[in-house]
Every structure is written in C-alpha cells, then in structure tokens.
Amino acid sequence: MAHYFSEPSRTFNEYLLIPSYSSCECVPSNVKLNTPLVKFRKGEKSEIYANIPLVSAIMQSVSNDTMAIALAIEGGVSFIYCSQKIESQAAMIKKVKSYKAGFVTSDSNIKPDQTLADVVALKEEKGHSTIPVTDDGTSNGKLLGIVTGRDYRVSRMSADTKVREFMTPFSKLIYAYEGTTLKEANNIIWDHKLNSLPIITRDGNLVSLVFRKDYDSDKEHPNALLDSSKRYVVGAGINTRDYAERVPALIEAGADILCIDSSEGFTEWQKLTIDYIREKYGNTVKVGAGNVVDRDGFMFLAEAGADFVKVGIGGGSICITREQKGIGRGQASALIEVAAVRDEYYKKTGIYVPVCSDGGIVYDHHVTLALAMGADFVMLGRYFARFDESPTNKLNINGTYVKEYWGEGSSRARNWQRYDLGGAAKLTFEEGVDSYVPYAGKLSDNVHITLSKVRSTMCNCGSLTISELQSKAKLTLVSSTSIIEGGAHDVILKDKAASPIK
C-alpha cells in the first residue's frame, strides 16, 4: 500500500510569523544576513559564505555573467546556466572573474569603417557609452581609437558618418600596457582625470579597460562577495550527462561553486556526478545537488557528499511539473521536513549541510518565512528575471514594460538534460512555460527593498542573524479568511497614478 502523508502540502502563503520580544539592539542596521553556502564540520566555518541569502536560478532567462556581477556586488551568488555549450558557459565565468579584478574585457567594440548609426545601435544594445575602435571590431583587435559620448552629437551629425572621422584616435589616447597593476591603473586614471584606461599589449592589441566608476563602485559596495583574490564569487550549473567534460572547464574558468541542475535529485545520476567530482578533485570543488522534497531525498544527497541540498519540486512560477506529472510538494511542507532532517543529520554526524529553498517565493516576506523554516538561502528565478541585468529582452506589451521569462523545462530552453531519466536525448513533453514578468528596473534597488523587509521582520522576531531567527521563530498556519484579513479590506482604495512594480 502507498504511503500517505497525514498533513496536506503547505505553501508559504499559509504561514505567518509571530512576533517575539525585541531588545533595543534589534534594529535593521544590526542584522547580519551572511550565511553558509557549503557544508562544514561542527566547530569549523563554511569555506564559502554569501553576504546575503539570495542566489539566482540556473536558468537561461536569469543567470548570465551580467546578472552574476550585479548580484555579487550586492553580496549574493548567481549560478550561470548550463543549458548552453561548455565553452560559452566557461566564457561567462571568466568574464565574471576578470571583472572584479578591474580589468574589464570590452563587449562593445566597433570598426573604424562603421558609422555613427552603428555606434548608436551598439550603445542601445549594450548600454555602454565607451566603445573601443579596433581594426577588426573585436575585443582583442589592434586598438585604433575610442568613441565616447563626447565624440559625437546625433543631432548635428549624419548617421552615415564614419567612425574614424569622429573617434578619439590612438595617438591622443592615454593607455597602459598589459601587466599594469590595478592600483597603478587607478593612479593613471586619477592623475589624468580619465573615465577609462585602455590596457594594451606591446603590439597595440586591446586587452581590457579599467574604469573610474569601478573604483568608486568598490568603495560604495562593501558587501560585495569576493574570493581570496578579490574577484567576484560566481557559481555554475552542471548536468548529470556531460559533467566529465563540463566540470573541468568550469573549474579552470574560475567557478567557485557548482550545482547540479535537475528537476529531481533523488537519483543515482546525481550520486554518480558527485562521485566523479570527489574522485577527481576531492573536497576542493564544492557542488550542491537537488532538488528533493522530503527527508529521504536529503539523506541520499547528504550521504552522497553534496555540499548543499536544494529543496523544491514544482513550485516555480513557470514550472508545470505538478500539472504534467502529478509529482512535487508544497514548498513550505518540503522545506520544513528537509530542514528538520538536516538538523538531525548535523547532531548525528557533526556535519552541517546548508539547505537552499528553490521555488514558491511570490512575495518578499516569503524569503523571511523560508529562512525561518530552516533555509540557509533561497534560489530565485522570476524575482531576478524582472531586472535590467537579466539576459532577456525588455518589451512593451500594451503600454506595460515586461521582460521575457521561460522555464528550463520549456521547449524554448530545450534543456532535456535537466529532466534526464536516462533515456533519449530529447524532451517528450514540457515541464515549463514561456512567459513575461513585469519589468522592475535595477537589481540593486529591488534587492535593497527586499532585504530591508527581511531585516525588519527579523527584528520583530528578536533576531539579528539567520541562525537566531531559525531558533527563535514562531510560525502559525493561517485560514483562508485570515489571509483576506491580512490585506487591505473594507475600505475604498485611492487610485495610485504611479504604483510601484511589485
């Protein structure tokens, strides 16, 4: 006879936190949100911490190098999607690791025989106002000049004006040679009042650019998540098919942490993937696994050697696994059970395996609920897909700005490896949809608002750290009537001419 769970499958929306005593020290500015990302033994510290408990999902429509840089600046981690060629994923990792060093590989380049119209189009596409002019239009061609917004006026010049006619030529540029340190480059920028400094080889080929704004940004973002070489921390997704080729390439590129991207983690395929990594790299390479929704799934992956375990099946906003296959579990129920067995495992073995809650986050307060229920960090897809830094197109649909967002189980993503059950290399049916999400602006602005709410709620619960919240939290189930009571009711709301995007 099948096993039946006695409790219904619960979601975050069915719970509320009960306030606890708050001392005068419980103010948001005192709350620390750093959290372990990988397992550690009792009495020791995790080898990788995040400064905020947010990571971005392993999705084509969410996590590329641009997202990884923006999130690392705020203290979180992106897991760059693996449903792409190994070479292109490794290249994204390299861009992130080189960016923090201050030496930025230019992705906005142009040839001298192109036109002003091409410059304007490139600026609109990439958003960069500094455009190196190279002989072949690549990021490592011979540097011939630079175009910035000071070099042209669209209203006064013909669109077919050649770049060579208005660029600042190489003879007038101040530059530095490859091998210049970041400190030396910043001194040159300061001494000559530059906005950017090209770094070139002795043969005159462009290597990278150093920007004044990046130096200023370093001072403005003390929460940025850095490795031992002061480069941004970045994660990468892997699958259970080509890991023997993909993992070495990603490690060589500089990935700090890996995660197996799969719709269901309670499989021998995940164990074989972890076994390969342990045999080849020992414990030097960190790899998370999942997804699971109960104690048996957690125990399997913990004993297989996973550095963290991802919880959640079917709770994502674009996921239709439950609808298609009738499999999954309410995110709150799954997380509560897995977090409990994680604590049991820690008491028994002395090894703490962090838990990542993946899916089911609709409102900002759901992040706090997930942390209170035992998650060490949460993985978000829809949330990050809304921002400027996500890799998808921004569109105007009937007067409303949106961004494209699609699931890895959709036909658009064609990520059959994520749903691999050892059969043919194809998707036989979809487990995700293709959709739009409301455009929400810059990542930094939204993350600051979300985390302000998390810190404030933690203070209401008398907690200054995530671990303290987990030990002190008191949660209650809510009825359908109390959910209605929790929002505005029995009033006539005033129209808001410019409502903020939630």
Q: Which residues are catalytic?
A: 319, 418
Report CA Rg, the chain: 24
CB within 8 A of 249, min separation 6: which ones?
A: 86, 87, 89, 90
| Axis crossing angle, helix 65-74 with helix 443-460, rounded to the nearest 10 | 40
Contact 375, 355 (CB under 8 A): yes
Q: Is the peptide bond before 291 cis (omega within 30 degrees of 0)?
A: yes
Contact 174, 200 (CB under 8 A): no
Q: E strands along 77-158, which residues? A: 77-80, 131-134, 143-147
DSSP 115: B
Phi and psi at residue 464, in whole multiples of 5°?
Answer: -110, -5
Contact 237, 291 (CB under 8 A): no
Q: How many CB atoms lie within 10 A of CB 129?
A: 15
Phi and psi at residue 133, in whole multiples of 5°?
Answer: -105, 115
Burial class (CB in 10 A: 0-12, 13-18, 19+), 443: buried
Which tokens belong to 265? Answer: 């983690």
